[in-house]
Structure 1
Amino acid sequence: MFHTVLVATDGSKAASRAVDAAIDISLKYGSRLYIIHVLQHGRAVEELERMAEIEGLVAGISEPEPPAPTPEAAAVRTVLLESRHDGRVLSKIGEMILQRAAQRAREAGLGKVETLSANGDYADGILDAIDETSADLVVMGRRGLGKVRQLLLGSVSNKVVQQSGAAVLLIH
Structure 2
Amino acid sequence: MFKNIVVGVDGSETSEVALRLACDLAGKYASEIHLVHTPQPHTVAFALGATMGYHAATTMPSPEEVREAAEKVLNASKAIAKDLGLEITQIRAERGDPAEQIIACAEDCGADLIVTGRRGLGGIGSLVLGSTTQKVNHLAKCACLSVV
TM value normalised by structure 2 = 0.79
The offset of 1:52, in angstroms, is 4.4
2:57 is equivalent to residue 86 of structure 1: no
Identity %: 29
Question: Counterparts of 1:53 and 1:9 in 2: how far apart (Å)?
Answer: 20
Report the aligned-residue RMSD.
Answer: 2.4
- Describe the shift of the 1:24–1:123 C-alpha distance in structure 2 as closer, same or farther (beyond 3 A): same
Superposed displacement of residue 53, structure 1: 5.4
The whole-number CA distance in structure 1 between the counterparts of 2:132 and 2:8 is 11
Greater helix percent: which structure?
Answer: 1
Contact in 2 for aligned 1:105/1:113 (Cα 8 Å): no
Q: Moved runs in structure 1, 4+ residues, more than 6 A? A: none
- Give the direction of change, closer, same or farther, for the CA distance of 1:52–1:168 in structure 2 (3 Å limit): farther
- Given the superposition, is the C-alpha separation of residues 26 and 53 from structure 1 closer, same or farther in structure 2, using an over 3 Å criterion? farther
- Aligned residue identity for 2:11: G
User: Structure 1 residues 157, 8: closer, same or farther in 2, change over 3 A?
Assistant: same
* Conserved 8 A contact 2:6-2:113: yes
Residue in 1 that maps onto 2:12: 12
Structure 2 CA distance for aligned equivalents of residues 15 and 124 of structure 1: 17
User: Could you list the runs of 5+ residues in structure 1 that have no partner in the other structure?
Assistant: 55-84
Identify if the C-alpha distance between structure 1 residues 97 and 112 changes in structure 2 by more than 3 Å, giving closer, same or farther. Answer: closer
Q: SS where residue 2 of structure 2 aligns?
A: coil
C-alpha distance in 2 between matches for 1:131 and 1:11 = 23
1:115 paired residue number: 91
**Counterpart contact for 1:6–1:135, Cα < 8 Å:** yes
In our comparison, the structure showing a higher alpha carbon Rg is 1
Name the aligned partner's letter for residue 113 of structure 1: T
8 A Cα contact 2:119 2:133, kept in partner: no
1:105 is paired with a residue whose SS is helix
The answer as to whether partners of 1:102 and 1:113 remain within 8 angstroms in 2 is: no
Query: What amino acid does structure 2 have at the position aligned with 1:88?
Result: E
Match of 2:117 among 128, 141, 147: 141
* 2:2 matched residue in structure 1: 2
The alpha-carbon deviation at position 112 of structure 1 amounts to 4.9
